[in-house]
Structure 1
Amino acid sequence: MKSTPTLLAASFATTLATAVGMLAFPGCAHGVSSVSRSPASFEVQGHRGARGSRPENTLSAFRFALKAGVDTLEMDLNVTHDDVLVVTHDPALNPKICLAPSGKKITHTILVRGLTLQELKRYDCGTLINPRFPEQVPQPGEPIPTFDELLSWLDTDPDPRARVVRLNVETKSEEAHPEYTPPPEKFSALVLDALKRHHFMERTTLQSFDYRTLVAARALDPAIETSILVEERPSEPLTVLAKRYQGNIISPDHEWLTKSDVEELHQIGVRVIPWTVNTPDAWAKLSSWKIDGIISDNPAALLKFRSTLSKSTETHSRREMPETDP
């Protein structure tokens, strides 16, 4: 998830939003009610599939996460030289997790945007174990998947969970590096086209640190749900950011998020789904704030935590129920 924050062109976003008629702010009028919601009702999102267990952003990682029972598959999109959406985090092939076609280490910068899909498919991004996640199970020879391949897999997988799982898709564009990806309007159009062809619009959230793509997507189709990624605490309130870019969700780094942030965003109808949260202590803290979702590299462990919390909450609720006369 973590990315160098893009320096955003507020004027671009404002102009484009005005051009499409200043779409109504998507938050519900009465806010998101967290008063009656159980702390165990948060959504579990598998970060890059399940990066703690399988090579990130591979079909193997997404299959693992689906089988574990996640609510949402979180992923990243880049674009090849021939304008094919591919599921990978970095604008350049990461030598720590990918091998050259020869099987040797990658020794120079290779931009995804500089390769055709046919060229990109020759790289092995399943053999190497990410040094940050020593428990990963390697998948030798596995290539970077296309977005269409991922959607087609979900279309045809016999697992009934494939019919209901949601997607949280990040456009990995950077305003400071236009050479990395197509312009925001084209990038967004490619994503929406794929989602509509596979009938995934209603099950997908579009997220980005580059808010230009979110505004462009909303201009193309106001129905798309959007999530505003935030790496460093902004100088203005998160509620202002949510309103300016008309986000359904604010997705911040959990390290600096506060309970007050969550409450203020809920009051204006905006959900809060922080990233990337991998420890039980952090899960417990966030769930006590009645967070809407948690993005984690270890979704299987998070699901177990949620299940235990749910049972504990139910037991506590039963104990608090008043006795009635027979």
Structure 2
Amino acid sequence: MTENLQNDARRVIEIHGHRGARGILPENTLEGFAYVLGIGVKILELDIQLSSDDVFMATHDLTLAKHGTRDEQGVWLDDDHEVISLTQEHIKRYDVGGLKAGSEYASRFPDQAFMSDVTIPSLEEVINLLKDVGVGDEILNIEIKSEASLSRHQDRVKDVAQKLVKLIKDHDFEDQVLLQSFDWALMEELTKLAPHVQRACLTLQKPDIPDGGKGIKGTIYDGSPWIGSSDYIAANGCIPTMIAKAGIPIWGSFFKDLDQGQLNKAHSLGLKVNAWTVNETEDILAMIKLGVDGIISDYPSRVQRLLLEQGYHWLPEDQR
């Protein structure tokens, strides 16, 4: 097989705990993030959206998830509540500690614990968690949720970027973040404001996967609203070329979209490649064999075990 020389030399593939550890604990919660830190994984992946009163909240869906949100009386939500239209105080009213029995989402994560009195944290609370229990080498992989096809999201791109960079600077956390998004226009703004911060462009080529929500074309095609000012035609549709030209150092790809040719091209351009969201044993092993730089997973402990079995580690020697 074709070996990735960089990974072969250092035998390190980073683990990103996806939404904490969604497979076993409620996603995007302080409880889940604390668990990931506790098992020795240093990179926490989370989603953020800016509330109507300008607070970054850690939640994935554009509307509060009906399969995982209860009101103050313990009743499951049945109406749509768009996150960016709500205040932090409103968002904090809800309990997100469990999945609704019988829902399709619950069937996907049968081992996720059911908890109560778990609220959606702010990004600032997550940063403070790392400051309280970390040793200073942990990383927050922050996915900024933005719907490129909706004007009410695109109208906020500059404001979101400015507020996020300010928050990170105010907390002296610039060396401990990786900022990523499917919305490359947002990534372009972040690059202007904070070119020294680690950044990643996310992509989805196979549409309509669970949690994908990117329509019938995915995100990468000529005329896509997701690729910002990138020129699909000039790059011959080559994703690594577009990302490198945009000055972004990391490519975050849906794992099923990756092949050896694309990975080799990305590495030849100096890009790191993170694969998301990789959960099944055979898929994790395939990504290890392919030679990715990072694996984003709902089951970080599963990835730990498989990396060790294959002679790899998720941390450089000086962090073990």
1:94 maps to what in 2?
65
2:278–2:296 contact (8 Å) kept in structure 1:
yes
**Contact 1:78–1:113 (8 Å) recurs in 2:** yes
Aligned amino acid, residue 164 of structure 1 = D
Going from structure 1 to structure 2, the CA distance change for 1:144 and 1:182 (only over 3 Å counts) comes to farther
Alpha-carbon distance in structure 2 between the residues aligned to 1:243 and 1:297: 28
| Structure whose alpha-carbon radius of gyration is higher | 1
Secondary structure at the residue paired with 1:310? coil
For structure 1, list consecutive stretches of 5 or more residues without a partner in the other structure. Answer: 1-31, 313-326
Q: Select the residue among 121, 139, 149 that pairs with 1:145.
A: 121
**Structure 1 CA distance, aligned partners of 2:282 and 2:243?**
28
- Identify if the C-alpha distance between structure 1 residues 245 and 184 changes in structure 2 by more than 3 Å, giving closer, same or farther: same
User: Which residue in the other structure is 2:271 paired with?
Assistant: 270
Partner of 1:118: 89
Which residue does 1:173 correspond to in 2? 146
Query: Which stretches of structure 1, 4 residues or longer, exceed 6 Å deviation after superposition?
Result: none
| Cα distance change, pair 83–311 in 1 and its aligned pair in 2 (3 A) | closer
Q: Does 1:73 align with 2:44?
A: yes
User: 1:185-217 deviations in whole A, cap 9, x for unaligned?
Assistant: 111112111211222211211100001111101
Q: Tell me the equivalent position of 2:9.
A: 37
Residue pairs, 1:8-87, within 5 angstroms: 34=6, 36-38=8-10, 40-87=11-58
Deviation at 1:296, TM superposition (A): 0.4
What is the deviation of 1:56?
0.5
Shift of 1:87: 0.4
Which stretch of structure 1 is more off in the superposition, 198-207 or 293-302?
198-207
Question: SS of the counterpart of 2:71?
Answer: coil
2:191 counterpart of 1:218: yes
* Cα deviation, residue 283, structure 1: 1.6
Deviation at 1:245, TM superposition (A): 2.2
> Aligned residue for 1:204?
177
The equivalent of 1:107 in structure 2 is: 78
Rounded Cα–Cα distance in structure 2 between residues aligned with 1:99 and 1:250: 35
**How far 1:89 moved relative to its partner?**
0.3
How far apart are the structure 2 equivalents of 1:254 and 1:118? 37
Distance 1:96 1:257 in 2: 30
Q: 1:248 to 1:208 in 2, by over 3 A?
A: same
TM-score of the superposition, structure 2-length normalised? 0.82
Q: Is the 8 A contact 2:52 2:86 kept in 1?
A: yes
**Residue-by-residue CA offset, 1:115-166 (whole Å, 9 max, x unaligned):** 1111111011113365021111122011100000111111122x53xx2111
Q: Does 1:230 align with 2:203?
A: yes
Q: Find the residue that maps to 1:37 and give its secondary structure.
A: helix
Q: What secondary structure sits across from 2:311 in the alignment?
A: helix
Shift of 1:244: 3.3
Q: Structure 2: which amino acid aligns with 1:99?
A: R
Aligned partner of 1:258 in structure 2 is 259
Quote the residue 1:245 is aligned against: 246
Deviates more, 1:205-214 or 1:281-290: 281-290
User: Structure 2 counterpart of 1:279, which letter?
Assistant: E
* SS at 2:84 equivalent: helix
Measured after TM superposition, the shift of residue 176 of structure 1 is 1.8
- Tell me the number of residue pairs that the alignment of Structure 1 and Structure 2 aligns: 277
My pick for the range that moved more, 228-237 or 90-99, is 228-237
> Please, which moves more after superposition, 166-175 or 191-200?
191-200
User: Which has the bigger relative contact order, CA under 8 A and spacing at least 6?
Assistant: 1
Contact 2:92 2:119 (C-alpha < 8 Å) held by counterparts: yes
Counterpart CA distance in 1 for 2:85 and 2:154 is 10
2:140 and 2:178 in contact (8 A); partners too? yes
> Who is 1:321 aligned against?
none
Distance 1:178 1:138 in 2: 36
How far apart are residue 311 of structure 1 and its match?
6.9
2:130 corresponds to which residue?
154
Q: In structure 2, how many angstroms separate the alpha carbons of the residues matched to 1:291 and 1:71?
A: 17
The residue identity in structure 2 corresponding to 1:136 is Q
Q: Give the Cα–Cα distance (whole angstroms) in 2 for the partners of residues 244 and 165 of structure 1.
A: 28
State whether residues 123 and 143 of structure 1, in contact with CA within 8 Å, keep that contact through their aligned partners in structure 2: yes
Q: Deviations over 1:246-281 (max 9, x none)?
A: 211111111121011111110010011010001121
Distance 1:35-1:297 versus aligned 2 partners, 3 A rule: closer
Q: Aligned partners of 1:250 and 1:273: how far apart in 2?
A: 6
Q: Does the CA-based 8 Å contact 2:244-2:271 persist in structure 1?
A: no
Aligned to 2:110: 134
CA contact (8 A) 1:91 1:180 kept: no
For 1:10, the equivalent position in structure 2 comes to none
Unaligned runs of 5+ in 2: 207-219, 222-236, 314-320
Amino acid at match of 1:200: F
Root-mean-square deviation (CA, aligned residues, Å) is 1.9
